[in-house]
Structure 1
Amino acid sequence: MAVVDQAKANFILSTLKNIEYGSVIITVHDGHITQIDKTEKTRFESKRVTAKNQK
């Protein structure tokens, strides 16, 4: 098991703390973190018009 660099660990933790919806993908090659991808989603409330709201 490889030792994780403190800077990489801090980056991953910071990314996780600052994401509300989405994913964090950590790519590992030969036991070393080579890439970190963050996909963040923004959600908006939908305002549906229903028969009850139209009256």
Structure 2
Amino acid sequence: MANLNESKVQQILTALKKINYGSVLITIHEGEITQLDSTEKNRFVNPKPVKHS
């Protein structure tokens, strides 16, 4: 299991709280958290075209 300290836990929680849609990736090397990546998804809904009769 990865070694956790308060700073790492806070950074992970902050990343989770900031994101509505997306992913948080935690990279671990030799049992230590070495990297935290977050990717936020933004989707745009295209309005349907108006049909002219």
TM-score by length of 2: 0.82
For structure 2, the 5+ residue unaligned runs are none
Structure 1 vs Structure 2: percent identity of aligned residues? 47
In the TM superposition, what whole-angstrom CA distance separates every residue of 1:19-52 from its partner, at most 9, and x where no partner exists? Answer: 011100000011100001111111222211264x
Q: Report how many aligned residue pairs link the two structures.
A: 53
1:24 maps to which residue?
24
Judging by fraction of residues, say which structure has more helix: 1
Letter in 2 for 1:19: I
Looking at structure 2, the residues matched to 16 and 2 of structure 1 have their Cα atoms a distance apart, in angstroms, of: 18
C-alpha RMSD of matched pairs (Å):
1.6
- In the TM superposition, structure 1's runs of 4+ consecutive aligned residues that sit over 2 Å from their partners are none
TM-score by length of 1: 0.79
Bigger RCO of structures 1 and 2 (CA < 8 A, at least 6 apart): 2
Letter in 2 for 1:46: N
Give SS of 2:8's match. helix
